[in-house]
Amino acid sequence: MTEGAWIGARFALMIDLSLLMGLPLFWWVMGMAGRRGVLAALALGGMALSALWLMASVAAMTGTPIATPEWASTQILLTMTPIGPVLAVRGGALLLALVFAELNRPRLTLIPAAVAAATLAWTGHAGATEDMAGTVHRVADVAHIWAAAGWIGALAVLVHAMMTLRPTTAEMRRVAKMLSRFALMGTLIVATLLVSGAINGVMIVGLAQLPDLAGSLYGWLLGAKLALFGVMLGLAGWNRWRLTPLLESGTPQRAVAHLQLSLLAETSAAVGIIGLVAWLGTLDPMG
């Protein structure tokens, strides 16, 4: 029960921080106006979910109910481990993001949002790696987190645009242009995910131990994550090379329905990946 709450808190926090960074990033790249209320809500949500994650972590480590946390263990975790400084940096970044959001400055919000998202690297396997290898691992993990946040933020905007699309030629051309312009950003995101993911895999498991993953829960979950990533790549390619040109052609109605379904499926796969990552972060790869 407590482990499930820990995984759930990690999952919700990852979704929140990914959107907080990914949305203003996509709005900036596309030259779109941001939504102040959405970013403010995500910044506040990040603070609340960070507190929930802390309580769930303590509950999982001590075996106590999350509703009645063991405050002595919480104090030790905050004062004698890197968790305290990490949460302090995240809290400051989220507070700054909230201020910029309230000032309706989404581009400025992106900076502290990226810092807040980067702190996730210090609460997973990368945070436990030491010395120079630890630095390389955390740099790769931060790049992985930022790229994933960019993709998730883009999907959120694109799904909203497609589901609220008005059947006018001008509106369809606007959305088609947005999808086309995302192509370069999407290529950079995928390249970053592939390189940083490979580095993370080697750092966490090691090349010599890769065959041992086949018989472990960690290996099965990692395989499921890679399979979902492959599904996302396939859907993204279909959207880019098949459906977006259809939206620009003389048969837009057919393209709209297919794009809606494809983007929803791609988003579902992304949510599934984050759920798996939240679970993987609680497991010993060799356990």
**Same-domain status, 150 and 256:** yes
**Same-domain status, 140 and 260:** yes
Residue 76, in any domain of the structure = yes
Task: Pick out the chain residues at pLDDT < 70.
Answer: 1, 125-131, 206-212, 250-252, 286-287
Over pLDDT 90: what percentage of the chain? 50
Residue 128, in any domain of the structure = no
Residue with tokens 């509703």: 67
pLDDT digits (tens, 9 = 90+) for 233-267: 999 998 888 888 877 775 667 778 888 999 999 99
- 104 backbone dihedrals φ, ψ, rounded to 5°: 60, 50
pLDDT digits (tens, 9 = 90+) for 214-226: 778 888 899 999 9
pLDDT digits (tens, 9 = 90+) for 70-100: 788 888 888 888 889 999 999 999 999 999 9
Full domain range(s) for residue 199: 133-287
Do the beta carbons of residue 203 and residue 273 sit within 8 Å? no
CA–CA separation, 8 vs 71, rounded Å? 21
**Same-domain status, 14 and 137:** no
Cα separations in angstroms, 193 against 22, 101, 197, 229, 275: 15, 28, 6, 10, 17
Residue 152, in any domain of the structure = yes
The last residue of one of the domains, among 89, 123, 157, is: 123
Task: Look at the pTM and tell me if it is higher than 0.85.
Answer: yes
Give the number of domains in the chain: 2
Residue 31 — left, alpha, or beta (φ > 0 → left; ψ -120 to 50 → alpha)?
A: left
- What secondary structure does DSSP assign to 64-117, as a single string? --TTS--HHHHHHHHHHSTHHHHHHHHHHHHHHHHHHHHTT-HHHHHHHHHHHH
